[in-house]
Structure 1
Amino acid sequence: MLNRNYTPNFKNVSLERRLLTSRSRIDRCSINIIKNRDNLLRYAQEYINFSRWLTWEVQTPEIEKESAAGLRYASKMYAAFLKLAEQPEQEQTFKIYDLPVVTWNGKGMLENGYAAPSEWIDAYFLAVITRDTESMDSLANFPIETMKQSATQAGPVSYKLVEVFQAYHHHQADYPKLLDECMGMAVKQNDDWAIYIAFGYLETLAALSPATFDVGCDFNEALAKNLQAQERYHIYEAGPDHAPVDSFLPIQLLGMACMWHDMGNEVTVESDSLPRFLINGTYFK
């Protein structure tokens, strides 16, 4: 069992209060989702953070179902939001489970900095976790050139990561070459994000295909190593006054654990940050 290096201080704000606040916001989703296009993104992120804090709760079947349901909504919302950015001028209608039907266009989204690589990567692996193949396929076809038109610009490694993940999804023949190139770019960039986050993603992804790549360890070893490394990165990044919330549920590494499981392999890494019910897809079948 890999214990977390960080434990939230619930003395000032209790876990119960945090979850109550999130549930109150989520309860208004059906009202607010029709008011503003950007609420698709805001509520997707609200659901994700809610599930992250739920990892500190006792994992009863009720808590598991609540977390899984929230991630299912978040996956559809994220994919819908980025679909609007892909075709800004086009009116599109979405029906997300029991939420009201909404019709929006994506005008102004790229100018306002949406569709950054980090958003795409979160959205794609959220779809992987929830086994949302429709959203995965949609995101896998998102043009990287459109992403580069966003006012929020990222470094070359970020865009290359998207290219690698899309190549993996489509089983492209040049996937190994792209992954190797991206690894080299991350090493050359040589900052904490590139080494601990980007390279960690790539190393874990490479371990999914041991016949293609030899990263010096098997998948579970790569997963455990990068789970710990990325928690340390998020703790440092958050600083002493903020909780490293992203580390509570590391969407990308968790998504790759789901991939490994769905390929018929055993995920042996035990951690509260990798909920077993999400790896197994218990509520997504």
Structure 2
Amino acid sequence: MTASVHRHAIPEGPDAEQFAERLGTRVARRIDSLEESAGMIDFAFNSSLLALRARCVIDPRAAAVETWEATVNAMQVGSALFAVTGVSEGTVECRINRKLRTLPAVGLLPTADAGNWLTAFWLAVICRDQTRMTQLCEIPLDRLRSPEGQYDEYVYHWVDVLQTYWLQRPGLVDKLIATIEASNPEVVQVAPRDLLQGVLYPPINLFYHFVRKDEAGFSPALADALKLHKAYWTLNEDRKADIDGTIALGPLAIACLAHDGEIPIEVESDYLPKHLLTRGWLGKFPT
């Protein structure tokens, strides 16, 4: 039986569609400006994510081509963030918004860190862009460490797990166990407990079921992840109104891996836009 997890009501307002269109126009302008200077690419990435979520407010199944374009743009800018910060001289060629662009190198930016790496990787998984997944997984873990101690140690274990899985390196099981142990609420010191339990940990648990090929356990774990996501984003009025709760990006990415691995997905939810999960737009235009 397919379980349903209803997305909480997100205030759309009378001009939700116009808002999404304005964001899309703003993102396009910021992408164009990157060819002159890529120093603000992290802001372009944040804008592209906001545009994606705005599209999912008005198009929860991702049935419109504009939503797929917003997803691809966010993925491309996220990957470009790590490409231009990986070198300090010369230029880097990146395809963004249907165009191959030559972006100037930026060198290290503090925002090219493990948190944004996870977001960029989730987007590459959702878009099924294996080349970008590989490029992201080849980034040395030390380069993703935040000098300000912004993240708990389990985050770096988690990145290591994903890189190990995708690049088929040895030690996946031991690294996953270390990640689970390091993400225990009694050990974590930086992330607030409700954020950890509602948003940050569920993708790790889902991945555990995925790599074990646990067909019986995956969908219940996915439903639980979405319920926790919903509980976190409906705790108070400010969170209910926050567009960041529109989609469950991490669980969606793991569900995409499971879907492509032929694990049945017996959960329906607008937190998991259907046509992103089932790769309905794949191949419609170059990514």
- Unpaired segments ≥5 residues, structure 1: none
Residue pairs, 1:250-261, within 5 angstroms: 250-261=248-259
Amino acid at match of 1:156: E
- Alignment partner of 1:57 is 2:67: no
Contact kept, 8 Å, 2:122 with 2:249, in 1: the verdict is yes
Quote how far apart the aligned CAs of 1:232 are.
Answer: 1.9
Q: Does 1:2 align with 2:1?
A: no
Match runs of 1:99-138 below 5 Å: 99=99, 101-107=101-107, 109-110=108-109, 113-138=110-135
Q: Distance in 2 between matches of 1:82 and 1:141?
A: 11
Cα shift at 1:152:
6.7
User: Where in structure 2 are there 5+ consecutive unaligned residues?
Assistant: none
More divergent stretch after superposition (97-106 vs 182-191): 97-106
Aligned length: 274
1:199 to 187, 201, 213: 201
Q: By how many angstroms is 1:19 displaced?
A: 1.6
Q: Could you tell me how far apart the structure 1 residues matched to 2:25 and 2:95 are?
A: 22
Q: Which runs of 4+ in 1 moved over 4 A?
A: 58-61, 149-152
- In the TM superposition, residue 203 of structure 1 has moved relative to its aligned partner by 0.5
Q: 2:231 matched to which residue of 1?
A: 232
Report the Cα offset of residue 86 of structure 1. 2.5
Amino acid at match of 1:184: E
TM-score by length of 2: 0.85
The residue identity in structure 2 corresponding to 1:33 is L
Compared CA separation, residues 10 and 198, structure 1 to 2 (3 A): closer
The answer on whether the counterparts of 1:75 and 1:123 sit within 8 Å (CA) in structure 2 is: yes
Structure 2 counterpart SS, 1:94: strand
Question: 1:247 and 1:163, CA in 2 relative to 1: closer, same or farther beyond 3 A?
Answer: same
Structure 1 length as normaliser, TM-score?
Answer: 0.85
Distance in 1, matches of 2:59 and 2:98, equals 28
Q: Which amino acid aligns with 1:137?
A: T
2:156 to 156, 159, 173: 159
2:233 and 2:36 mapped to 1: Cα distance? 33
For residue 57 of structure 2, give the secondary structure of its aligned residue in structure 1.
coil
Residue 254 of structure 2 aligns to which amino acid in structure 1?
Answer: M
Counterpart residue number, 1:185: 182
- Partner in structure 2 of residue 41 of structure 1: 42
Root-mean-square deviation (CA), in Å? Answer: 2.6
Q: Deviations over 1:106-137 (max 9, x none)?
A: 23x33xx2212110000001000001111100
Q: Distance between the aligned counterparts of 1:157 and 1:24, measured in 2?
A: 37
- More moved, 75-84 vs 137-146: 75-84
Which of 263, 266, 270 is the equivalent residue of 1:265?
A: 263
Deviation at 1:277, TM superposition (A): 0.7
Residues 34 and 89 of structure 1: CA distance in aligned 2, closer, same or farther (over 3 Å):
closer
Deviation, structure 1 residue 151:
5.1
